[in-house]
Amino acid sequence: MSRLVLLALVGLLTLPFLASCDRDRIPAEYRGQIKQAARTCPDVSPQLLAAQIAQESGWDSTAVSPDGAEGLSQFMPETWTAWGTDADGDGQADPYSAEDAIKSQARLMCHLVEVARESDVPGDPIELALAAYNAGWSPVAKHEGIPPFTETTDYVAEIGDRAEKFRAEFSAKAR
């Protein structure tokens, strides 16, 4: 009995590590879609999109957050209504469709980078766009930069770190 408890405990302790490992690998089925979506604008790289998806849903296209964000790219319903697109050509924009979500994420990020560039808010436009993707543009503007919310500051930092790790997967050789 104690051996079973020990095995269960070891299993529970390794779950967060294993989940982290999964986030650090880009599933093959999404690579082409991410590369294609990254062509939406020059500011949004494939590694940035991939790092966001890893952070947002851990590559789970069926994910639903406690706040109601849906799909691979974790769109809130009202944001999806504004930015969702039918990238897979099935006649409907669906946040649970990986292709729709990834293309919509790229469109929204391109828009947020543009908003950041055109604003008077100081800071790196990519980091400001990431903060806005997480918290909305209003808090970014109000705080004149990345809002001091732990979730948002961690989000921006973790995506930056993960995007750097993913850079090699999208290098010229890997394409």
Give the residue numbers marked as catalytic: 56
CA separation, residue 2 to residues 6, 13, 32, 69 (Å):
6, 16, 48, 41
Instruction: Write a three-state SS string for 1-20.
Output: CHHHHHHHHHHHHHHHHHHH
Distance, in Å, from the CA atom of 105 to the CA atom of 34, rounded to the nearest integer, reads 10
Distance, in Å, from the CA atom of 45 to the CA atom of 28, rounded to the nearest integer, reads 17
CB atoms within 10 A of CB 115: 17
